[in-house]
Amino acid sequence: MTDLSFVRSDMLPERAPPANEVGMVKWLRTNLFSTWANSLLTIAAFYVIYLVLANVLPWFSGGVWTTSSLSECREVLQGEVGGCFSVLTERWNQLIYGFKYPVDLYWRPNIALLLLAFAAAPVLFFDLPRKLLLFTAIYPFVAYWLIWGGPIGVPVTAFVGILGAYLVFERFNAANFAAAGLAAVAVAFSLWFIGGYLVDMLASDDPLLTPVASRDLGGFMLNLMLGVTCVSLSIPLGIALALGRQSNLPLIKGVCVIFIEFIRGVPLITLLFVASVMLAYFFPPDATVDLFLRVVIMITLFSSAYIAEVIRGGLAALPKGQYEAADSLGLDYPQAMRFIILPQALKISIPGIVNVAVGLFKDTTLVSVISMFDLVGMIRGPILASQEWNGVYWELLGFAALLFFVVCYGISQYSQWLERRLRTDHR
């Protein structure tokens, strides 16, 4: 044996990779400057970012927050670049609550909003204890009472009616679904009927919370209220419509198809016109249903049609086997739907429903067209028309855009998170 060998028997020490293949440089090269076209794009992008920042940053940093009119702003700025953000501080209350909600009652919508977080939490996050849903069930009535005030008997009666209906339904549901449903409706209406008398009789002239008329609502609060109310009302309606559209009873199917296609075929604004100029003719001659409620009705119908289509997608995505399995277990239609089909279909539909909800929330700004003073309506009407703030466009529109962006982006991030959650559940 000699010590001659053609194969190296010991490893060379590792060498560091070339400088342009590691760290920042490597990252820049692959992600920003891989080809000359890419480099051009990068430079163009940098230029765009620079342009935006160069215009927006001085405007922010030079902003004025404490004056009481645009002309004062201009005096303070002396021709320097800067936003007149004072309009936001000075008109803050109007932007958020509208110009007619009594100032000393602002705490009521504030509490309602805070409670909304607690009520929505168990719906949005499945890990929370299910018992919290009890609060969610009570919340609408509490929120109604907080925001509108008036005799407490009204929301209590409403709650008792629904509670009674629920108890009756649960009691008889095992025997016959349809009968239980009819009984529940009957119970609810009779409770409301009795309650209506009681409320009228017991209503004192000086209720605990001062009543506020719904046309006094306004600002971003109005957008939030319309959004939350209409989405929550339209989900049950949407489920019913989706089931109706899948039904094999031709009459019910036909009615649902016509309704859904009709609503989806017309713009929301025409439906709002219906609410503002036409719907009043369809109510009994002596009943006055206020504009807020008419708008809630129309927006709810609008979004329920879209939600129905999302849920129909969910129903269609379920394998046929699920339906057959339910049949073979001897479940009747309501049972099969409640225990087998809907839980799965709704789960698939949740991201779609959230998308509809985001779209709907954005669409609540359309009410400004029919002279309701929501956030956009406040800006376009009373604030921009006032002597002090005529001409303050960007601060106000930017603020409105920011508020909507925060809420909508938040919801869509939640929806994506949920989608990931639900996907892992399947594996």
Partner 1 sequence: MKKSAFLGALTVASIAASAAVAQDVSTLDQVKERGKLNCGVTTGLVGFAAPDANGQWKGFDVGVCRAVAAAVLGDANAVEFVPTTGKTRFTALASGEIDMLARNTTWTFSRDVDLKFEFVGINYYDGQGFMVSKDLGASSAKELDGATVCIQTGTTTELNLADFFRANDMSYEPVPIETNAEAQQQYLAGACDVYTTDASGLAATRATFEDPSAHILLPEIISKEPLGPLVRHGDNNWGDIVRWTLNALIAAEELGVTSANIGELGASAGANPEVNRLLGTEGTLGEMLGLDAEWAKRAIMAGGNYGELFAKNIGEETPIALARGLNAQWTEGGLLYAPPFR
Partner 2 sequence: MYHMTSMTDPHQGQFRLSMLFNDTRYRSLTYQAIAAILLALAIWYLANNLVQNLRTAGLNISFDFLRDSAGYDINQRLIEYDSQSTHARAAIVGILNTLLVSFLACITATIFGVIAGVLRLSNNWLVSKLMSVYVEIFRNIPVLIWIIIIFTIMTAVMPAPRAFRGDTPEATMLLDMFAFTNRGVYIPGPYFTAPLFASAFLNWVLVLAVLAGSLFATRRMARWATGVQEQTGVRPTTWYFTLAMWIVPVGLLLMVMGLAWEIPALKGFNFKGGIKIGGALIALWFALSIYTGAFIAENVRAGIQAISKGQTEAAGALGLRPRRTMNLVVLPQALRVIIPPLISHYLNITKNSSLAIAVGYADVTATLGGITLNQTGRAIECVLLLMAFYLTISLLISVGMNFYNKSVKLEER
Residues that bind partner 1 (CB under 8 A): 71, 99-103, 144, 148, 154-155, 157-158, 161, 189, 192-197, 199-200, 213-216, 229, 276-278, 280-281, 283, 285-293, 296, 369-371, 380-382, 384-387, 390-391
Residues 6+ apart with CB under 8 A from 37: none
Binding site partner of 381, from partner 2, partner 1, none, Cβ cut-off 5-8 A by kind: partner 1
Nearest distance from residue 231's CB to partner 2, in Å?
A: 15
Q: Does 173 bind partner 2 (CB under 8 A)?
A: no
Residues 6+ apart with CB under 8 A from 217: 97, 98, 100, 101, 147, 225, 292
Distance from C-alpha of 381 to C-alpha of 140, rounded to nearest angstrom = 30
Among 106, 135, 323, 414, binds partner 2 (CB under 8 A): 323
Binding site partner of 397, from partner 1, partner 2, none, Cβ cut-off 5-8 A by kind: partner 2
**Residue 2 vs 288, nearer CB to partner 1:** 288
**Residue 386 vs 412, nearer CB to partner 1:** 386
**Region binding partner 2 by CB under 8 A among candidate stretches 14-22, 41-49, 95-103, 137-145:** 41-49
**Token code pair at residue 416:** 């994506």
- Tally the residues of the chain: 427
**Residue 207 vs 381, nearer CB to partner 2:** 381
Site string for partner 2, 354-373 (x = CB under 8 A): ----x---xx-xx-xx----
**Residue 176 vs 371, nearer CB to partner 1:** 371
Among 16, 178, 321, 420, binds partner 2 (CB under 8 A): 178
DSSP letter assigned to residue 318: S
**Residue 224 vs 326, nearer CB to partner 1:** 224
Distance from C-alpha of 92 to C-alpha of 94, rounded to nearest angstrom = 5
Q: Does 386 bind partner 2 (CB under 8 A)?
A: no
**Residue 46 vs 193, nearer CB to partner 1:** 193
Among 17, 46, 126, 200, binds partner 2 (CB under 8 A): 46
Q: Does 409 bind partner 2 (CB under 8 A)?
A: yes
**Residue 230 vs 345, nearer CB to partner 1:** 230
Contacts with partner 2 by CB under 8 A: the residue count is 68
Looking from the CA of 137 toward its CB, the CA atoms found within 13 Å total: 10
**Residue 33 vs 106, nearer CB to partner 1:** 106
Nearest distance from residue 271's CB to partner 2, in Å?
A: 8
Taking alpha carbons only, the member of 382, 394, 391 closest to residue 74 is 391
66 near 86, Cβ under 8 Å? yes
Binding site partner of 424, from partner 2, partner 1, none, Cβ cut-off 5-8 A by kind: none
Among 147, 162, 212, 274, binds partner 2 (CB under 8 A): 274
Distance from C-alpha of 23 to C-alpha of 17, rounded to nearest angstrom = 10
Nearest distance from residue 94's CB to partner 1, in Å?
A: 9
Quickly tell me which residue has 């109310």 as its tokens: 229
**Token code pair at residue 109:** 């919508």
> Strand pairing partners for 374?
219
Quickly tell me which residue has 């319309």 as its tokens: 226
Please, what is the angle between helix 107-124 and helix 219-246, to 10°?
Answer: 30
Nearest distance from residue 252's CB to partner 1, in Å?
A: 24
What's at 125, amino acid-wise?
A: F
Nearest distance from residue 256's CB to partner 1, in Å?
A: 22
In the three-class reduction of DSSP (H, G, I as helix; E, B as strand; rest coil), residue 84 is classed as: strand
Neighbours of 35 (CB within 10 A): 8
53: exposed, middle or buried (Cβ count in 10 Å: 0-12, 13-18, 19+): exposed
Residues 6+ apart with CB under 8 A from 90: 68, 388
Distance from C-alpha of 370 to C-alpha of 83, rounded to nearest angstrom = 30
160 near 118, Cβ under 8 Å? no
Among 255, 297, 346, 418, binds partner 2 (CB under 8 A): 255
Binding site partner of 362, from partner 2, partner 1, none, Cβ cut-off 5-8 A by kind: partner 2
**Residue 192 vs 404, nearer CB to partner 2:** 404
Distance from C-alpha of 314 to C-alpha of 358, rounded to nearest angstrom = 19
- Report helix, strand and coil shares of the chain as percent, to nearest 5: 75, 0, 25
Residues that bind partner 2 (CB under 8 A): 30-32, 34, 38, 41-42, 45-46, 48-49, 176, 178, 246, 248-252, 255, 261-262, 264-270, 273-274, 277-278, 280-285, 315, 323, 326-327, 332-333, 336-337, 341, 358, 362-363, 365-366, 368-369, 376, 380, 391, 393-394, 397, 400-401, 404-405, 408-409, 412
